[in-house]
Amino acid sequence: MINNRYDFVMLFDVENGNPNGDPDAGNSPRMDAETGYGFITDVCIKRKIRNYVSLTKEGEAGYNILIKPDKSLNEKFTDAYIEEGLPLEQKKKNEDDVKKARDYMCKNYFDVRVFGAVMSTGDDPCGIVRGPVQINFARSLSPINIQDVTITRQARTTKDRKATGETEMGRKSIIPYALYRAEGYISAAQANKITDMTEEDVELLWNAIINMFEEDHSAARGKMCTRKLYIFKHDSVLGNCPSHVLFDKITVKEKDGIYVPRKFDDYEIIIDKDMPEGVELICK
């Protein structure tokens, strides 16, 4: 059970990498064509969190990950029915059985308990869970500069291609530097009503956000790291203040004289520490 609503702001950056490629644009970094600002999808951020939890909690009861490529989702839904001793032969499942299967998924899968899931597919549906944790798209604090870097490789893939020469050209799309900001929410009311997310899950979420890039380095993504995590803790389940009022208390801007940001120190973070009554600011 959670007794506090939370809102949070995370700042993370990328150096000489592609933080989130767009399949519709040749896997180039995602960018708002109208403004030139970069963005990263919520799905990408949650993937990093899932990977961290899967790595650090592997084998521990209650910390399985539903969204990962080990086996199909429908097979996992059927497993829930088997574990709960629910009938599999019925084509139209009883509502009580679906609820029991849903509760099993929430209890055993961290990402269902936290982010929710659509589990209504297949012959053994487990219902739909609206997750108490929601994360918005991340957006860069400055317009991004996408550079297409030409590379060569010496290992040809086929005999026909090797016959044309020893090397061939390739391409990597990178951002020299960008600082991103993402905002999120934890609804204690939703957690207590549906998924039974716990305070331990909340702490694990903070640890995952702080460390999600440390165990996920790759040449394609370059150097990425979480720089700051600001948590607004309400002293009630339903909250003491609208989230947008709290988000406005964290302002990030380029320092005077900086026209092309190339490092975290090129930005200034201004925090209004005058919190509304019943709200505590925690900086990590």
Share of the chain above pLDDT 90, in %: 84
Q: What is the DSSP string of 183-246?
A: EEEE-HHHIIIII---HHHHHHHHHHHHHTTTT--BTTTBEEEEEEEEEEEESSSS-SS-HHHH
d(CA 235, CA 72) in angstroms, rounded, equals 40
User: Which candidate, 194, 275, 200, places its Cα nearest to that of 234?
Assistant: 275
Residue type, 215: E
pLDDT in tens, 223-250: 999 999 999 999 999 999 999 999 999 9
d(CA 67, CA 46) in angstroms, rounded, equals 10
Q: Which helix (H) or strand (E) holds 14?
A: strand 6-17
Token pair in block for residue 223: 């150097």
pLDDT in tens, 261-275: 999 999 999 999 999
Whether residue 138 contacts residue 224, with contact meaning beta carbons closer than 8 Å, is answered with: no
Radius of gyration of the chain (CA): 22
Report CA-CA distances (Å) from 205 to 46, 102, 194, 243: 10, 22, 18, 19
pLDDT of residue 167 exceeding 80: no
Whether residue 100 contacts residue 85, with contact meaning beta carbons closer than 8 Å, is answered with: no
d(CA 75, CA 81) in angstroms, rounded, equals 10
Mean pLDDT of 92-100: 93
User: Which candidate, 196, 50, 45, places its Cα nearest to that of 131?
Assistant: 196
Banded model confidence at residue 151, pLDDT cuts 50, 70, 90:
confident
Report CA-CA distances (Å) from 77 to 45, 111, 123, 230: 25, 14, 9, 36
pLDDT attached to residue 281: 97
pLDDT attached to residue 169: 78
Q: Helix 73-83 to helix 95-108 angle, to the nearest 10 degrees?
A: 110
Banded model confidence at residue 186, pLDDT cuts 50, 70, 90:
very high
Residue 3 Ramachandran class (φ > 0 left, ψ -120 to 50 alpha, else beta): alpha
- Average pLDDT along the chain: 94
Banded model confidence at residue 155, pLDDT cuts 50, 70, 90:
confident
Mean pLDDT of 18-37: 94
Whether residue 211 contacts residue 262, with contact meaning beta carbons closer than 8 Å, is answered with: no
pLDDT in tens, 32-41: 999 999 999 9
